């Protein structure tokens, strides 16, 4: 599945996945929405684990016209395509508007979110309850691997901007783009 092949609602598959038993032939889809400016190893950990739980996972880059980003939505999508290439059931897309509208249009009943710390929980719970109230879309919270509990795209950008070493925090393709963008080679 590629970015161009994010399925519309109502698809079927003959492949069994994990978790509770759905109706036979039902494709279990989930979405991992986010800004991904840029994708980090923490995001990739969650995406990989979601890909084990669901038949199809759409990683959706939120295009926010009012928030400035280091990378364009196309760049963010391309970095995700490159760094999730090993998964046969992960597609990358971009979206503008409400995540629940994207879910409705593509037959996705579940949002998967990583929780790094209790501090993430308040806002994430509020969004999860709102999304369920708006459209019946549920949210699955996945505890982040403790190795990545401090990791945030904003910190990665700041460290890379000043030439700090982020090679353990992002995949190599993202590291290259960060280095190219900052003009400063990363140092240890
Ligand atoms: O990586 P981020 O910036 O924490 O991701 C936040 C994101 C994009 C997942 C969230 O802001 C979102 O879902 N935005 C889409 C607009 C929307 O649906 N807003 C209402 C949420 S209740």
pLDDT digits (tens, 9 = 90+) for 40-64: 999 999 999 999 999 999 999 999 9
For the CA of 97, the closest atom of ligand 1 is 16
| Average model confidence (pLDDT) across the chain | 90
User: Is 153 noted as a catalytic residue in this protein?
Assistant: yes
Q: How far is the CA of 10 from the centre of ligand 1 (A)?
A: 24
User: Residue 152 — very low, low, confident or very high, per pLDDT cuts 50/70/90?
Assistant: very high
For the CA of 36, the closest atom of ligand 1 is 1
User: Is 106 noted as a catalytic residue in this protein?
Assistant: no
State mean pLDDT over 65-75. Answer: 94
For the CA of 33, the closest atom of ligand 1 is 9
What is this structure's pTM? Answer: 0.89
**CATH fold of the domain at 26-150:** Rossmann fold (3.40.50)
State mean pLDDT over 107-123. Answer: 96
Give all strands (DSSP E) within 10-165, no chain letters.
29-34, 56-62, 90-95, 110-115, 138-143
User: Residue 12 — very low, low, confident or very high, per pLDDT cuts 50/70/90?
Assistant: very low
Domain boundaries, the chain: 26-150
Q: Would residue 183 be called left, alpha or beta, if left means φ above 0 and alpha means ψ between -120 and 50 degrees?
A: left
DSSP state letter for 184: S
User: Is 116 noted as a catalytic residue in this protein?
Assistant: yes
- Out of 43, 76, 106, 113, the active site residue is 43
Residues 6+ apart with CB under 8 A from 13: 25, 26, 27, 55, 56
């Amino acid at each position: 599945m590629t970015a161009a092949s994010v399925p519309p609602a109502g698809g079927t598959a003959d492949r069994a996945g994990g978790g509770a038993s759905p109706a036979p032939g039902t494709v279990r889809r989930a979405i991992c929405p986010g800004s991904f400016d840029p994708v980090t190893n923490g995001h990739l950990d969650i995406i990989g684990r979601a890909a084990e739980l669901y038949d199809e996972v759409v990683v959706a880059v939120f295009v926010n016209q009012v928030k400035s980003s280091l990378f364009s939505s196309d760049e963010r999508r391309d970095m995700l395509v490159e760094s999730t290439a090993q998964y046969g059931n992960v597609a990358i897309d971009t979206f503008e508007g409400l995540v629940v509208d994207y879910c409705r249009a593509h037959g996705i009943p579940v949002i998967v979110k990583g929780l790094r710390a209790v501090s993430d929980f308040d806002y994430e719970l509020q969004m999860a309850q709102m999304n369920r109230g708006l459209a019946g879309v549920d949210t699955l919270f996945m505890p982040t691997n403790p190795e990545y509990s401090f990791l945030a795209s904003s910190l990665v950008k700041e460290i890379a901007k000043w030439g700090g070493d982020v090679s353990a925090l992002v995949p190599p393709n993202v590291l290259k783009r960060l280095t190219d963008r900052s003009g400063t080679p990363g140092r240890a």
